[in-house]
Amino acid sequence: MTALRKKMMHDLELGGYAPRTQQLYIDAIRDFARFFRRSPEEMGQTEVRAWAGYLRDRCKVSASRLRQHFAALKFLYTRTLYRPDAVSFLSFRKGPEKLPTVLSADEVTKLLESLSTPKYRVFCATLYATGLRVLEACRLETRDIDAAQGVLRVRHGKGGKERLVMLSPRLLAVLRAYWKLERPASPWVFASNAGNHLDPSVARRALSRAAVQARLGKRVTPHVLRHSFATHLLEGGEQLRVIQVLLGHASINSTTRYTRVSAGLIGKTRSPLDTLPTGG
C-alpha cells in the first residue's frame, strides 16, 4: 500500500488538489483497504460495490462524507490505477445547496479587532480584502505584491491557475506596517515560526477563536471571509463577471449564488406591487 499511496499522492499533487483534499482522499482509500485487508490494486468492482453499500447502509455516513469516499475511489481507479471500469457505476446526488454564511461589515470589523496577533489579523484582513482561498493566502510571496500596478499575483490558485486580484491602498499600507513589525521569513508574506509558509489549519483555528471572542454567534472560517468579500462587492455594484475573475471561478455559475445570498440587493429590489396605481 505504501507505494500505491505515494503514487496517488503524486497524482493528487499534479492535479492541483488542496492538501486537505489530498488527505481526505488518502484516508478514504486507507479505510477501503483496511476493510478488506487487501491492497486496492488487488480489488475491483465487486469490492467497490460492497464497500459503497457498507458505507451507505451500515455505516450511514453523511452525504458529504459519502461523496468524498466515492470521489477518492474514482480518482484512485481512474487516474492512478487506470481502471475506470471498477468505479464506472459510482454516482451520487449532490445534497441541497446551502447558502453560504456571510458577515456584515460590522461583524468583519469586530472579527479583525478580536485578532490580537498582528500576523493573523493582517492575514484575515487580506482574505477579506482580496477574496483569496486560505491556501492561496498562505502561499503568498513578497514578489507577488505589485504595488505599482495595484495588484496581487496569485500563482498557487486552484488547479494551478494564476490570476490577479486587486491590492487596495489600505491593504498595501497594512501589509507594509506588518512587514516592518514582523519581518517574516523569506519568501513568504505570512510565515510559520519554522520559516515555512503559514499552515492553513493554524490560521483556521485563530479565526475560529476570534469569532468566539467577538461573540458573532456564527461559525467563521476563512471561506466565510471569501463569501463576504464576494457578497459585499456585489452589493457595492460590481459586475458578476469581474467577481468571477477575482475569485478564480472557472464557471459563472459558481459566482451567481452570491445573487441569492445578498440580502442587501434583495432588500433593494422593487416589488411589482409598488408599481400599481394607488386608490384615490
Q: Tell me whether residue 158 is one of the annotated catalytic residues.
A: yes
79, 209, 223, 257: the catalytic one is 223
Query: Closest Cα to residue 7, out of 108, 79, 114, 62?
Result: 79
How far is residue 247's CA from residue 132's CA, in Å, rounded to a whole number? 7
Cβ-proximal residues to 5 (8 Å cutoff; 6+ apart), any chain: 26, 29, 30
What cell was used for 128?
477579506
Q: Tell me whether residue 227 is one of the annotated catalytic residues.
A: no
25, 77, 120, 258: the catalytic one is 258
5, 83, 158, 218: the catalytic one is 158
7, 204, 218, 249: the catalytic one is 249
69, 119, 121, 133: the catalytic one is 133
How far is residue 123's CA from residue 125's CA, in Å, rounded to a whole number? 5
How far is residue 44's CA from residue 54's CA, in Å, rounded to a whole number? 16
Q: Tell me whether residue 183 is one of the annotated catalytic residues.
A: no
153, 197, 226, 232: the catalytic one is 226
Q: Tell me whether residue 69 is one of the annotated catalytic residues.
A: no
Q: Tell me whether residue 143 is one of the annotated catalytic residues.
A: no
Question: CA of 142: how far to CAs of 14, 136, 156, in Å?
Answer: 25, 13, 14
Question: CA of 147: how far to CAs of 130, 169, 170, 173, in Å?
Answer: 14, 9, 12, 10
Per DSSP, the three-state class of 152 is strand
Q: Tell me whether residue 223 is one of the annotated catalytic residues.
A: yes
Instruction: Report, as residue numbers or ranges, the catalytic residues.
Output: 133, 158, 223, 226, 249, 258
